[in-house]
């Protein structure tokens, strides 16, 4: 794996971890954003389109991002949410998908298309979100001690020392996100390189298609729970949206549009 | 207090949760964001440190709306430094009286409604931006995340930018301040838009899926059999999430495993 690719993943992962955990909350840490940014950085296809896999290289982050966005958006209030690291999951998922495509593409039949790499990336993203959530919980224990030390420094009148301690906390968050993103990407690509060639018999086009349809179904079920079931009168508004879309769709079909 | 102090406090409030821990939550971050105000008010380092230490205890509100609390506290601390009879308890009471309702109104607006809506806008971008040709880069990879960022920040940045000066100006009228933010009506609007767009997305996805399910024209039974895994997974997830909310990841992994096993056996 090229050092430059890992550095990109690490820097992006660190930045998105800051967005989610430090308090920026600009939504850079949303899985769709993270996956697309990782895709733009890693896929040389943005600059050199038209290569054999170039087209898929940019569809993988979009596919991974959309699935993770629907699956990892929890409509509960923060205190009731399961600990998931959704910020780095998009970066890790898209990176694993693209790097696997680059390296393992010749081993697989073209019939499976790029969907197989979207699936690999999505599964990597889901697993990393769970493991990243556990890491975040341990980070909070470290923060507890630092916060007590910070208060002691303030009571002694050492405001500059308190500020330095606080900035170190910010740096630690960045480092955690960066190292976790790079390490999980390496682990994901290594696991895929080890397991996928052995599963080549079962990973045919139809199997990959079925797997994709099932994960897409779960993603839409999860999306329904987030966007329709949680708000009041959500179903009515969703039905209205569906009806209007249906009308547009039928009109476009009649007119021969796309 | 000068505008520069407000700007410094706003920029520091972006790091509110860097030392987040269950015991004090955003307390250390609140003290960190107040440093510019305290530097203006207290020349003596020990006095300044003690004043900040009073704010390093437990504190929790919505991070986007913290500026309003910072503004109110800065105003009270300023009066106290100027000799007004304001004790620690009064400042703490005012702080909590504003922080708790802001959390109660801000969390459902920003976390439960606007964040999912922003993600949904990004996903819908896939359908609305043109598909790339085989020789050109797919611009959607940049446009879709941009839609997410614009949707969320168009609302959130407004509250972030105005928080500290507005809180400072309306420090004596916390009730009026809360009411003026109009957080509840905004939530109701975004909820409806979110549900509406999800319905739109389902049809936009199912339409092409149904068309491509039967390219050879083998009939309705074939189309249904092709779409069955998607529909079955979707319905099972909706039912399962009622029982186990927040378990989408586990459900997706289990469904993938089951699909893999079933597909190799059939």
> B217 and B174, same structural domain?
no
Same domain, B259 and B168: no
One domain, residues B12 and B80: yes
Q: Are residues B177 and B202 in the same domain?
A: no
* Interaxial angle between packed helices B88-106 and B66-81, expressed in degrees from 0 to 180 and rounded to the nearest 10: 170
pLDDT per residue as tens, chain B (266 positions): 889 999 999 999 999 999 998 889 999 999 999 999 999 999 999 999 999 999 999 999 999 999 999 999 999 999 999 999 999 899 999 999 999 999 999 999 999 999 999 999 999 998 887 766 666 667 888 899 999 999 999 999 999 999 999 999 999 998 999 999 999 999 999 999 999 999 999 999 998 888 888 877 788 888 888 899 999 999 999 999 999 999 999 999 999 999 988 888 77
Residues of chain A with Cβ-Cβ distance to B11 below 8 Å are none
Residues B171 and B230 in one domain: no
Which residue from B191, B245, B264 is facing A202, i.e. has the nearest CB? B264
Do B173 and B195 fall into the same domain? no
List A residues 128-187 in contact with B (Cβ-Cβ < 8 A). Answer: 129-130, 140-141, 143-144, 146-147, 150-151, 153-159, 162-163, 166, 169-170, 173
| pLDDT for residue A3 | 86
Q: Could you tell me if B100 and B195 lie in one domain? A: no
Beta bridge partner(s), residue A69: none
B59: containing domain? 3-105+159-181
Give this complex's ipTM: 0.94
B125 lies in some domain: no
Please, where are the H alpha helices in chain A? Answer: 3-21, 31-42, 54-72, 86-104, 115-155, 159-195, 205-224, 234-254
- B245 and B163 in one domain? no
pLDDT at A205: 79
Of B150, B181, B212, the residue at which a domain comes to its end is: B181
Which residues of B fall within a CB distance of 8 Å from A228?
195, 198-199
- Are B93 and B198 part of one and the same domain? no
Average pLDDT, chain A: 88
Residue B235 within a domain: yes
pTM value?
0.94
Q: How many angstroms away from the CA of B262 is the closest CA of chain A? A: 10
Shared domain check, B176 and B252: no
User: What kind and span of H or E run contains B44?
Assistant: none
Measured between alpha carbons, how far is A27 from B117 in angstroms, rounded to an integer? 12
Examine residue B42 and state whether it is found in any structural domain, yes or no: yes
Instruction: Specify the number of domains making up chain B.
Output: 2
> Where a domain ends, among B146, B181, B216?
B181
**Residue B33: closest C-alpha in chain A:** A163
B166 and B190: one domain?
A: no
Residue with tokens 């939550």, as numbered in its chain = B25
């Amino acid at each position: 794996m090229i050092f430059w690719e890992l550095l990109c993943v690490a820097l992006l992962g660190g930045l998105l971890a800051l967005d989610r955990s430090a308090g920026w909350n600009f939504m850079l840490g949303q899985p769709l954003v993270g996956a697309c940014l990782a895709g733009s950085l890693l896929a040389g296809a943005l600059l050199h389109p038209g290569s054999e896999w170039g087209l898929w290289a940019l569809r993988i982050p979009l596919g991974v991002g959309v699935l993770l966005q629907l699956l990892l958006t929890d409509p509960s209030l923060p205190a009731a949410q399961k600990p998931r690291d959704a910020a780095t999951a998009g970066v890790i998922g898209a990176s694993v998908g693209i790097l696997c495509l680059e390296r393992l593409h010749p081993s697989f039949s073209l019939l499976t298309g790029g969907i197989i790499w979207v699936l690999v990336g999505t599964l990597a993203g889901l697993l990393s979100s769970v493991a990243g959530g556990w890491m975040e919980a341990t980070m909070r224990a470290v923060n507890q001690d630092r916060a007590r030390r910070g208060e002691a420094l303030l009571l002694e009148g050492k405001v500059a020392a308190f500020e330095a301690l606080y900035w170190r906390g910010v740096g630690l968050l960045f480092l955690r996100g960066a190292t976790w993103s790079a390490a999980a990407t390496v682990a994901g690509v290594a696991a895929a390189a080890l397991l996928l060639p052995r599963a080549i018999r079962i990973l045919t086009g139809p199997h990959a298609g079925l797997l994709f349809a099932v994960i897409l179904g779960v993603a839409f079920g999860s999306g329904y729970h987030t966007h329709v079931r949680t708000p009041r009168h959500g179903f009515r508004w969703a039905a209205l949206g569906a009806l209007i879309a249906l009308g547009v769709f039928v009109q476009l079909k009649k007119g021969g549009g796309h | 207090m000068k505008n520069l102090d407000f700007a410094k406090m706003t920029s520091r409030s972006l790091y509110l949760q860097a030392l987040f821990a269950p015991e004090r939550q955003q307390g250390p971050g609140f003290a960190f964001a107040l440093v510019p105000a305290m530097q203006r008010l207290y020349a003596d380092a020990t006095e300044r440190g003690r004043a900040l230490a009073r704010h390093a205890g437990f504190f929790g509100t919505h991070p986007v709306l913290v500026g309003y609390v910072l503004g109110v506290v800065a105003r009270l601390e300023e009066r106290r430094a100027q000799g007004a009879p304001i004790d620690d308890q009064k400042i703490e009471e005012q702080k909590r009286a504003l922080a708790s309702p802001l959390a109660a109104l801000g969390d459902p607006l920003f976390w439960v409604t606007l964040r999912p809506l922003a993600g949904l806008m990004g996903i819908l971008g896939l359908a609305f931006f043109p598909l790339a040709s085989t020789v050109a880069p797919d611009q959607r990879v940049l446009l879709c995340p941009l839609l997410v960022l614009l949707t969320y920040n168009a609302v959130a940045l407004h509250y972030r930018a105005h928080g500290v000066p507005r809180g400072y100006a309306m420090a004596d009228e916390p009730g009026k301040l809360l009411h003026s933010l109009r957080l509840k009506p905004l939530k109701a609007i975004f909820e409806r838009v979110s549900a509406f767009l999800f319905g739109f997305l389902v049809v936009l996805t199912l339409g092409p899926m149904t068309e491509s399910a039967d390219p050879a024209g083998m009939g309705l039974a074939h189309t249904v059999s092709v779409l069955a895994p998607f529909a079955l997974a979707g319905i099972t997830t909706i039912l399962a999430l009622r029982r186990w909310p927040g378990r989408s990841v586990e459900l997706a992994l289990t469904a993938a495993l089951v699909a893999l096993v079933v597909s190799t056996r059939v």
